[in-house]
Amino acid sequence: MNVTSLLNELSDIGTNPSGGYNRLAWTHADASCREWFVSHARARGLDVETDRNGNLWAWLNPSAPGDALVIGSHLDSVPRGGAFDGPLGIASAFAALDALQDFVPSRPVAIAVFADEEGARFGLACAGSRLLTGAIEPDVFRALTDSDGVTTAEAMRRAGLAPEHLGRDDELLKRIGHFIELHVEQGHLPTSAGVDGLTTGSPLGLATEIWPHGRWRVDLVGQQNHAGTTRLGDRHDPMLDLGRLIVDVRDVAEEVGILATVGKVRVTPGAVNAIPSAATAWIDARGSDESRVRAAIARMGRDSTLESWTPSTPFDDRFASELASAVGGELPLLPSGAGHDAGILALAGIPTAMIIVRNPSGISHAPEEFAEDADCELGVAALATAIRHLTA
Ligand code: GLV
Ligand code: MN
Ligand code: MN
């Protein structure tokens, strides 16, 4: 099947009434996407497994000697997310196997769907790959909650998994020789060709690194009181601190030269006619330089709690050049400001590469995220060539 038809099969799952998709981890929509994966894997005669961290694996030739070439990405989304972030990598992997027809690899090949990549529900990005590699303690993970107070453990149990078995999986890690994630471009960061994004150049690129990325929580406390009776001078209103914090985040990001965002806030109790008792803001900060990201948070001068940190992650140069020559030579190189499971596997020492498919809209984590069919086909062809070359 071609990649566009595969993606179209997902187009009714988790649709948001105002556009895009809500496919948060361990929800009904996520389960439907995972069922779609399992049925396509079985239809191709692949051996399907769910690992103890909820990641899905579909193995081709699993008993061949040697470690595996794994192609993977994710199927969950941010709220009102786009159609390509994640699913493009999975659909392209199936399409690449279809393009290879009866080719028998000399080593195992697997397609992996990493669970809860976006962290949109419980706050921790790349949860499935972090658990697999031991980058997060299972006890810490099991205690995370969503906005309704449901723990990850409970959400996974409801999805039929056994959260008591979460944790680093050395046996599975040993089977992974190389990892490739194909992903839609998510902005227009400058490439090695000296232009902004892939728009004016090649439809495909290779990622060189993932920028360091932290998520911090700031809790602001006030005194809940009546909006109609409390004199302005008598108020302890955390909403004012929240407003100042949001502007400071932007100002400091500009001064220090990083990207920083307040994309989620919670106001308690959230009544029109009450001064809030508390406000919480989440800061997402990233940039090319680790020390500047940390310096920016320090400069904001607020008490904050670090909820997750992913260091700067360079991809393996040797594997990237092998992949580039397999798929026909020079591809523009670009950094990724977005986090990926590929980064978590690279940090665990697995030779990893990312093929990026151009996105003319330059928009991601939003319904406008886009890639042309023809560019997606080129991505599939690159993956198929890579699989043939690396497993011949
Ligand atoms: C995930 O896509 C992230 O970069 O936040
Ligand atoms: Mn993604
Ligand atoms: Mn994403």
Q: Which distant-in-sequence residues (6+ apart) come within 8 Å of 362 by Cβ?
A: 185, 187, 188, 197, 199
Domain co-membership, 154 together with 25: yes
Domain co-membership, 142 together with 206: yes
Question: Residue 269: is the preceding peptide bond cis (ω within 30°)?
Answer: yes
CB 121 within 8 A of CB 59: no
pTM of the model: 0.95
Ligand nearest to the CA of residue 119, numbered in listed order: 1
Which of these, 292, 284, 336, lies nearest to 314 by C-alpha position?
336
- CATH code at position 145: 3.40.630.10
Residue 340 CA to ligand 3 centre (angstroms) = 8
**Nearest-angstrom CA–CA distance, 318 and 309:** 26
Domain co-membership, 110 together with 29: yes
Domain co-membership, 109 together with 33: yes
Residue 97 CA to ligand 2 centre (angstroms) = 21
DSSP sequence for 32-78: HHHHHHHHHHHHTTPEEEE-TTS-EEEEESTTSSSPEEEEEEE----
pLDDT by 10s per residue, the chain, length 392 = 999 999 999 999 999 999 999 999 999 999 999 999 999 999 999 999 999 999 999 999 999 999 999 999 999 999 999 999 999 999 999 999 999 998 999 999 999 999 999 999 999 999 999 999 999 999 999 999 999 999 999 999 999 999 999 999 999 999 999 999 999 999 999 898 888 899 877 899 999 999 999 999 999 999 999 999 999 999 999 999 999 999 999 999 999 999 999 999 999 999 999 999 999 999 999 999 999 999 999 999 999 999 999 999 999 999 998 898 888 778 999 999 999 999 999 999 999 999 999 999 999 999 999 999 999 999 999 999 999 999 99
Domain co-membership, 125 together with 12: yes
Instruction: Using only the alpha carbons of the chain, give its radius of gyration.
Output: 22
Domain co-membership, 119 together with 253: no
Domain co-membership, 55 together with 27: yes
**Is 113 close to ligand 1, i.e. is its CB under 6 Å away?**
no
* Residue-range definition of the domain harbouring residue 47: 3-211+312-391
State the total domains in the chain.
Answer: 2
Domain co-membership, 52 together with 129: yes
CB 124 within 8 A of CB 135: no
The two tokens of residue 113 are 């769907």
Which of these, 214, 221, 182, 225, lies nearest to 359 by C-alpha position?
182
**Is 81 close to ligand 1, i.e. is its CB under 6 Å away?**
no
- CATH code at position 291: 3.30.70.360
Q: Which distant-in-sequence residues (6+ apart) come within 8 Å of 198 by Cβ?
A: 185, 191, 204, 205, 332, 334, 356, 357, 358, 359
